Chains A and B, each alone.
Chain A
Amino acid sequence: ETGVTQSPTHLIKTRGQQVTLRCSSQSGHNTVSWYQQALGQGPQFIFQYYREEENGRGNFPPRFSGLQFPNYSSELNVNALELDDSALYLCASRGGGHQETQYFGPGTRLLVL
Chain B
Amino acid sequence: QKEVEQDPGPLSVPEGAIVSLNCTYSNSAFQYFMWYRQYSRKGPELLMYTYSSGNKEDGRFTAQVDKSSKYISLFIRDSQPSDSATYLCAMTGNYGGSQGNLIFGKGTKLSVKP
- Give chain A's interface residues, CB within 8 Å of chain B: 4, 6, 31, 33, 35, 40-45, 48, 55-58, 90, 92, 94, 98-107, 109
Chain A residue numbers with a CB within 8 Å of B20 are none
Please tell me which one of the listed residues B44, B51, B88, B101 contacts residue A45 in the complex, with CB atoms under 8 A apart. B101
Q: Judge whether B98 and A31 touch: CB under 8 Å.
A: no
B46 → A minimal CB distance (Å): 6
| CA A24 to CA B42, docked complex, whole Å | 16
Please tell me which one of the listed residues A33, A42, A48, A57 contacts residue B105 in the complex, with CB atoms under 8 A apart. A42
Give residues of chain B (75-114) contacting chain A, Cβ–Cβ below 8 Å.
88, 90, 92, 96-107
- Give chain B's interface residues, CB within 8 Å of chain A: 4, 6, 8, 32, 34, 36, 41-46, 49, 51, 88, 90, 92, 96-107
Closest Cβ neighbor of B8 among chain A residues = A40
Please tell me which one of the listed residues A31, A41, A90, A101 contacts residue B46 in the complex, with CB atoms under 8 A apart. A101
Chain A residue numbers with a CB within 8 Å of B98 are 45, 48, 55-58
Q: Judge whether A106 and B99 touch: CB under 8 Å.
A: no
Closest Cβ neighbor of A9 among chain B residues = B41
Closest Cβ neighbor of A104 among chain B residues = B43
B72 → A minimal CB distance (Å): 14
| CA A104 to CA B98, docked complex, whole Å | 17
| CA A99 to CA B88, docked complex, whole Å | 19
B100 → A minimal CB distance (Å): 5
Chain A residue numbers with a CB within 8 Å of B101 are 33, 45, 48, 56, 58
Chain A residue numbers with a CB within 8 Å of B36 are 104
